[in-house]
Structure 1
Amino acid sequence: MKLYYTPGACSLSPHIILREAGLKFAVEKVDLRSKKTETGVDFNTVNPKGYVPTLVLDNGAMLTEGPAIVQYLADQAPESKLAPANGTFERYQLQEMLNFISTELHKAFSPLFNPAFPDDGKRIFRDRIALRLKTLDGLLEKNAYLMGEQFTVADAYLFTVLNWTRPMQIDLEPYASVKAYHARIAARPHVQAAMAAEGLTK
């Protein structure tokens, strides 16, 4: 299978999970401005949505949304315990958390990356992010990971989004549990390997 990614974007989440699950894969970098892959392919011909992540399987089938991709990957290596079994209540709790990260955090960051977005609007989204970080801080005060004591695909996604606090100059100091959690995830060997492969480490 092949993962199309852009360094540091939300595609880092499935990149981490591919490594955590021990799956065989290739990666291809995408320039989202030019819509060209590193081999010169028009990315729109790969994924008409025009954004990453995109996972293409060996049989040509494709998945394009991060939360769906990471669950698929986790199910290819159930022994890794990266997601609870399908049909269990815990699996629905995982999906709840993935949706929370996607809609309440990930999308709240999007306007901050847009230089054309008005500053007044950005302040509204910064306040929304602060509220969500406070919620997560309370959760992570009690748990090592989002789902308790087991690292899951939701942790790879949250870690990826938390990485954006640095370029957006959002201080994690008020959220001690979130800050410690981010450092804990960053120390995982497969996370470090994915970060290095994307050129995100010094």
Structure 2
Amino acid sequence: MKLYYAPGACSLSPHISLREAGADFEIVRVDTKTHLTEAGADFKAINPKGYVPALVLESGDVVTEGAAVVQYIADRFPEAKLAPANGTLERTRLQEQLNFISSELHKAFSPLFNTAAGAEAKEAAKEQVAKRFGNIESLLADGRRYLLGAEFSVADAYLFTVVNWSGTTGISLAPWPHLEAYMQRIGERPAVRAAMQSEGLIAA
């Protein structure tokens, strides 16, 4: 398999998931401004949408959209136990979390990365992010280690990736101590550290 990524972008989530699964894969860096790979190839020939992640399978099929990619990885490597079994309430809870992260939290950050967004739009975005952090804080306050309870899942890989953007957008996690502790806990996982080191996000 081949994962097309941009350092620190939402593609970090499937990158972490692949490492957690012990998968055999390679990564290809994409410049999200020029839509060219590190070798100069046209990324839009891989994913016409022009954004990461894109996971190219051995068959040549391409899977896009982060929430779909990480679920594919979880189902491809069931022994890693990165997702509950399909057809269970627990799997629906996973999808619930993935949809929340994608539609509510991930998108809330978008204006903070938009150079054309004004100060008012950015402040409104920070307020929205804070509201969603509050939702997560309440969930984690019951003592659960991970989003679904006691076990790490691909939803945790996605949440870690998105919440990690708080550092580059000037949002302190201090008001949400359970979320802050959660981020420290996830960040210590070997697969997470390996993925971040590979993308140049932390020192080796």
Instruction: Give the TM-score normalised by the residue count of structure 2.
Output: 0.98
Gaps of 5+ in 1: none
- Residue 79 of structure 1: how far off its partner (Å): 1.5
Q: Percent identity?
A: 57
CA RMSD of aligned residues (A): 0.7
How many angstroms apart in 2 are the aligned matches of 1:103 and 1:38? Answer: 30
SS of the aligned residue for 1:29 comes to strand
Contact 2:4 2:28 in 1 (8 A): yes
Following the alignment from structure 2 to structure 1, what is the Cα–Cα distance between the partners of residues 64 and 169? 26
The answer to whether 1:188 aligns with 2:186 is no
Matching residue of 2:201: 200
1:131 match:
131
Deviations 1:144-201 (A, max 9, x none): 0000010000000000001100010001000000000000000000000000000000
Question: Which letter does structure 2 place at the counterpart of 1:167?
Answer: T
What SS class does the counterpart of residue 48 from structure 1 fall into? coil
Corresponding residue number in structure 1 for 2:158: 157
Deviation at 1:23, TM superposition (A): 0.8
The aligned counterpart of 2:62 is 62
How far apart, CA to CA, are the structure 2 residues paired with 1:34 and 1:124? Answer: 29
Q: Displaced runs of 4+ in structure 1, greater than 4 A?
A: none
Q: Equivalent residue for 1:78? A: 78
Q: CA deviation at 1:118?
A: 1.6
* Structure 1 residue identity aligned to 2:115: P
Displacement of 1:123 in angstroms is 1.4
Deviation at 1:51, TM superposition (A): 0.2
> Residue 103 of structure 1 corresponds to which residue in structure 2?
103
Which amino acid in structure 2 is aligned with residue 87 of structure 1?
A: G
Alignment partners' CA distance in 2, 1:74 and 1:44: 26
Structure 1 residue 138: Cα displacement: 1.2
What's the secondary structure of 2:3's corresponding residue? strand
Q: One-letter code of the match for 1:154?
A: A
Amino acid at match of 2:33: R
Q: Which residue of 2 aligns with 1:39?
A: 39
Letter in 2 for 1:191: V
Unaligned runs of 5+ in 2: none
After alignment, is 147-156 or 72-81 more displaced? 72-81
The count of aligned residue pairs is 202
Normalization by structure 1: what TM-score?
0.98
